Structure 1
């Protein structure tokens, strides 16, 4: 098990050091960095030893898991996992029908036998080992390699490291880059494939406020659900089977119903997705002025098409519920980023920081060529990104994406496994099958046709100079798609899966219109892929040199040196804290169950279960009543540094006990992915007391309350 990390002798030690005090609450720290933050943890009141937090084999870190896009934690020795409602939404939707709509009504398995299959996309990853492999990835890469050659060399080494790690098929391994390619770590995770839905409250609780309240404060959302991890009788991961048994989690979190108050310290552990704290001013302006507006316009249009195409059909509405929810979340975040950039000129702030860095570099760096190369490769990256965005519009069809995946798999399977592109090796086959199978839960031919026709019309309005060369002549007309959807067999799951394993000649001989289209688009798509390799290889050559200089510069100022988030295990810390979004207005840090009743209407998303309203009016608060608020708290704010992927992250008190779940950020905080403003950046968490209160008073989930170890307040 992982306890510490020893760097290669050739690797710059400066990366792990943090000179002086870290900036308060900023930083998504790798666990092994925490012993260097002892003074910061002590300052805010954390009593857990930093060395314990750095050890993945020990509690509490051994209880923190990933769901492959969300975070979660074990809360019983029998593989019981708690996460957000929206993280379990796919499993909830998968098992819902218009007759048994678990989205609206909620679901509770009173016995293990009643637990429902989460589906092939619902997985639990338990991180067991992290090791620095930077030297093995980057050592002796030739200085004269082209960008593509460098990219392929790094990819080859990464694949070899993964294959070595996955000699035991129970594990899934990855080798992500840190500090934009300056460091590489190999992550070894136990991958549990049989995951079942145990309990989810009604979306009247789990999604109270819906998209209206998304990223807003005050908030009163019970965003939680429970899953259970199952393994074979031998204790090893296995495909779903009635013979499987609950996974015996080595450690699990004790749940504390004692609560928090304003100013109390918290720890937060999970798998944050992506941040861009070290982006250059030019990259920020590209995102602000070009990328984000285009993305927002596309998603807005796509959502309107889905709404119109599914209107009046409950079954179709259920099928696209998860798709629409995900798109709405991305849209709100994108709009929040644009609003945040308009409210505070982050690019101008970065201009000042960049100028100061360049002045320092002129005296301490290795010459001006690095910065000139840096600006050139970033410009090339942004230019190619616009063509890739245009191609995405031109191929915005689930059936076409499936056909493209299948054809690409056939092409890659002509090569030895080690030489295939990442994502198309034998290790990826189960994931490809899962994606192609999952489509049946979120796809209707008529809706897909409407979405694709609208996307083709949007593509036609893109400046021809920004479209991939040769693509226009290959595309179908938006008004002629009916014949494609009527003639294809790919809408049938079994026939779609039957294409796996067929050779390239079979695809080229096919008359299925979507297979034909995928083959026709292949040359353009491949050209984009090859150009992306060249650009990425040049980025991989230049950006790490820049990051080494930036880290040295920041260290000389005593500023924090943590890598951008990249979906790997991180720990953040902070305090329960209110904030002032604008002059004269103070928000937070707690909301209460009375706020739910105050917001209640007779329309979604502010519908409230009758049992909840009755319990509030009767003031049946029991041991979950906060002594200061004199009621049950619902959500609370903290100053912890979070982002997407932190959904479901365990929020722990100073002793490492579970006191909440992270699920959102305030609207003013959205730009924190690019710039962390300590004054207004706040994460939003479900208070564990509200979760336990709903389980007891509303949903009567007594079996789960008994299964968990809960520390109640002293009388």
Structure 2
């Protein structure tokens, strides 16, 4: 291998020439951004922002897929409406439809369970464990051997960390495997729905407005974390008490204006800023178009199968919403790649990097060899992902996926816990049970059958099929029989299989269990091939990333790891943008825009009491002095992505002024390339939330619980 160009410790240094607004920073990096934060007007000391035990970072939490924050010392949490949508949907029925009507618990006793698998994660400790993961891994290991050794070390570090059962630990990689950090999080597992506005507010504009600007969505909901009487996480119980959160965010109704600085903290999901040009072209030309077509077809199947049945529509509301959101983002990426040739931009950057690497290396031949190996394994990775996608399409059934997971669990339980595959250890059983139980509220046999049959037809037309799979799959016609010969539709019987051994599965005549057994070897073959490829990537990519970071720093460019669902901080300013020539879009929308969009037809149906409040201009202290009305949503230049939904948007003092919930359509490609001219994140203005709570839904009990900083000295106690 070529001579190492950068030591891991050197990653702690950031060039002084950081590009404003770009970067999803790990908290420990913030002191090195002190000058940038001060420049835009952030008054919180950077050292305080880096301390997870201090305000405001100690108030920022994750729901496992979204971000959120404590807003009282009684475990009250605010997040997006779409982040609480599962909880809203699971408590809804055609007769008691909280999606349409909204929900407000006036007392603690009225709060509803958010769901068996709903969790709140509070990050309290982060340790660099790179040496423990990578030290001593020889260059002669096969990819699969390397991958399994890394996973074994990760599992040991996690087991050591989880001696205290109050915590859930993880060891994600950063910079594509160059660094590893062990993250400890308190995991609260009794979560309850407190308040959600009706869909007409929380999802105003629906999928039509998704990723669009201007926007008029009140994307907020409240949940509460409960623990045992000893203050420690406990299973859901009527005896539990609200979690006494160490810190919470003060809610500021003082407002913001164009040009004001903001901080945003949350758990962004995935970005791909360091991907190669070949990976961009694969996503653009092959992967994303196929995935978009799949999602579009699946949605059409679900809608056709549930049409005319209100209960079925409610059951699949959250499923359809989730697919629609991913579809809109995927299509936005496709359109963004067409609008701006990011691959060509990356070509130029990649060529400059390769020339720099070869020119800087004392052994140019080794540098060239590294790059050749990198290109080869990336090609293998992309080819394998096509087969994995095809397998997923061919098995698009909740019942099949349940049967497959149950059979795999039976096999893994034959091993000592430490040797089981991640996802099937003792620590994972509650999550498996939660997924299996969740079908109680989000599954209909005839809909699942329609999805599987339609997917089998689409699979037949796909370009790449996993070897041996076709001969084992049921025909479209035979797929219908599976649903007549299974008991997995019954929740109790489904859960009972968690306790059974491999022999019980082999002796079963349940049609879906038999199918899971038939396809098991194909699935394992794909999994083992994935381990081989990922293990080779684990060897090559860190060397590549080390060199990329050295090159970027030499040019004064920001050095931050891609998002990976861990706690990050970004910053920016409130501002407009120009998506195309001659068009400028301002940074605020107002309640008058809600009335203007109102058509009386879904998704532009505003509640009558909200329209009345607008018509009568009952704005009170939430009236913006410049806008002359109540603001709804606003734009900033913050660097966000999926997973940042629900992230706290804070002013220069760390007070809550908004909730992140989306990006503009033109910004979607920021996952691959950050363009400061057009990248804008969309946030709900906290003044709109407070106004809805006071004037529309009369959520006085929650308003009283929060600490709200009103303009002109008005107190929330009055």
Equivalent residue for 2:716? none
> What SS does the corresponding residue of 2:330 show, helix, strand or coil?
helix
1:4 alignment counterpart: none
Counterpart pick for 2:266 among 265, 270, 279: 270
- Aligned residue for 1:418? 418
1:69 matched to which residue of 2? 65
Aligned to 1:435: 435
Asked whether 1:89 is paired with 2:76, we answer no
Q: Indicate whether 1:512 and 2:518 are aligned.
A: no
Q: 1:331-410 counterparts in 2 under 5 A?
A: 331-365=327-361, 366=363, 367-410=367-410
Question: Is 2:220 the partner of 1:218?
Answer: no
Aligned match of 1:603 in 596, 601, 604?
601
- For residues 329-376 of structure 1, give each alpha carbon's deviation from its aligned partner in whole angstroms, at most 9, with x where no partner exists: 000000000000000000000000000000100111352111011001
1:701 to 2:702 alignment: no
1 CA distance for matches of 2:247 and 2:603?
A: 37
Please state whether the residue corresponding to 1:197 is helix, strand or coil. Answer: strand
Superposition TM-score, scaled by structure 2 size: 0.98
Q: Note if contact 1:232-1:243 (Cα within 8 Å) is conserved in structure 2.
A: yes
Counterparts of 2:490 and 2:628 in 1: how far apart (Å)? 56
| Aligned equivalent of 2:690 | 692
Residues 695, 702 of structure 1: 8 Å contact kept: yes
Structure 2 match to 1:452: 452
Does residue 48 of structure 1 match 2:44? Answer: yes
The 8 Å contact of residues 449 and 481 in structure 1, kept in 2 or not, is answered as yes
Question: Which secondary structure state, in structure 1, belongs to the residue aligned with residue 187 of structure 2?
Answer: strand
CA distance in 1, matches of 2:460, 2:704: 59
Structure 1 regions of 5+ residues with no counterpart?
1-9
Q: Name the SS of the counterpart of 1:703 in structure 2.
A: helix
CA distance in 1, matches of 2:242, 2:393: 43
Q: SS where residue 714 of structure 1 aligns? A: helix
SS of residue matched to 1:500: helix
Tell me if structure 1 keeps the 8 A contact 2:70–2:78.
yes
TM-score (norm 1): 0.98
- Structure 1 residue 467, shift from structure 2 partner: 0.8
Partner deviation per Cα, 1:429-465 (whole Å, 9 max, x = no partner) = 00000000001111100000000000000111123xx
Q: Structure 2 CA distance, aligned partners of 1:455 and 1:15?
A: 46
**Cross-structure match for 2:643:** 645
* Secondary structure of the structure 1 residue equivalent to 2:141: coil
CA contact (8 A) 1:14 1:552 kept: no
Map Cα deviations across residues 16-75 of structure 1 (whole Å, 9 max, x no partner). Answer: 211122111000000000000011001111010000000000000000000000000000
Match of 2:104 in 1: 108
Distance in 2 between residues matched to 1:210 and 1:278, nearest whole Å: 33
**CA deviation after TM superposition for structure 1 residue 394, in Å:** 1.1
- Hey, what's the Cα distance between the residues in 2 that align with 1:491 and 1:562? 46
Correspondence for 1:288 = 284
Conserved in 2, the CA contact under 8 Å of 1:11 and 1:135?
A: no
Structure 1 partner of 2:311: 315
Matching residue of 1:227: 223
C-alpha distance in structure 2 between counterparts of 1:77 and 1:158, whole Å: 34
Q: CA–CA distance in 2 between the matches of 1:606 and 1:549?
A: 51
Match of 1:249 in 2: 245
| Aligned counterparts of 2:467 and 2:646: Cα–Cα separation in 1 | 43
For residue 47 of structure 1, give the secondary structure of its aligned residue in structure 2. Answer: coil
Distance in 2 (CA, whole Å) between partners of 1:523 and 1:483 is: 23
Q: How many angstroms does 1:399 deviate by?
A: 0.3
Deviation of the 1:404 alpha carbon: 0.2
Match of 1:560 in 2: 558
1:599–1:606 CA contact under 8 A, matched in 2: yes
Q: CA RMSD in A?
A: 0.8
Query: Which structure 2 residues correspond to residues 13-24 of structure 1 after superposition, within 5 A?
Result: 13-24=9-20
- Give the drift of 1:11: 5.1
Identify which of 303, 308, 320 aligns with 2:299.
303
**8 A Cα contact 1:274 1:644, kept in partner:** yes
Q: Does 1:489 align with 2:487?
A: yes
C-alpha distance in structure 2 between counterparts of 1:328 and 1:12, whole Å: 40
In the other structure, the counterpart of 2:655 is: 657
Over residues 75-118 of structure 1, what are the superposed CA-to-partner deviations in whole Å (9 max), with x where a residue is unaligned? Answer: 00000000000000000001111111000000000000000000
CA distance, structure 2, for counterparts of residue 185 and residue 13 of structure 1? 13
Cα displacement (A) at 1:122:
1.4
CA distance in structure 2 between the partners assigned to 1:237 and 1:356 by the alignment: 52
Within the candidate set 321, 324, 329, 2:320 is matched to: 324
1:216-260 CA-to-partner distances (Å, cap 9, x unmatched) read 000000000000000001100000000000000000000000000
- Partner in structure 1 of residue 549 of structure 2: 551
Residue in structure 1 matching 2:181, options 173, 182, 185: 185
Work out the CA distance in 2 between the residues paired with 1:233 and 1:542. Answer: 50
* Stretch of structure 1 that moved more, 362-371 or 640-649: 362-371
Distance 1:614 1:478 in 2: 53
Distance in structure 1 (CA, Å) of the matches to 2:255 and 2:373: 53
Contact 2:8 2:179 (C-alpha < 8 Å) held by counterparts? no
1:197 & 1:21 partners in 2: Cα distance? 45
1:14–1:551 CA contact under 8 A, matched in 2: no
Give the Cα–Cα distance (whole angstroms) in 1 for the partners of residues 232 and 394 of structure 2: 43
| Aligned partners of 2:143 and 2:531 also within 8 Å | yes
Matched residue, 1:5: none
Deviations along 1:612-643, one digit per CA (max 9) or x if unpaired, are: 00000100000000000000000000000000
Shift of 1:482: 2.0
Partner-residue secondary structure (3-state), 1:181: coil
Match in the other structure for 2:133? 137
How many residues align? The count is 704
Over residues 264-302 of structure 1, what are the superposed CA-to-partner deviations in whole Å (9 max), with x where a residue is unaligned?
000000000000000000000000000000000000000
Please point out which of 148, 160, 165 is paired with 1:169.
Answer: 165
Q: How many Å apart are 1:121 and its aligned residue?
A: 2.0
Which structure 2 segments of 5+ residues have no match? 1-5, 714-718
Secondary structure of the corresponding residue to residue 333 of structure 2: helix
Distance of 2:95 and 2:396 partners within structure 1: 31
Three-state SS of the structure 1 residue aligned to 2:484 is helix
CA distance in 1, matches of 2:652, 2:343: 37
5 Å-filtered alignment, 1:121-160, equals: 121-160=117-156
The DSSP-based 3-state class of the residue aligned with 1:92 is helix
Cα distance between partner residues in 1 of 2:652 and 2:512? 56
Residue 3 of structure 2: aligned partner: none
Q: Is the 1:21–1:40 contact (alpha carbons within 8 Å) kept by the matching residues of 2?
A: no
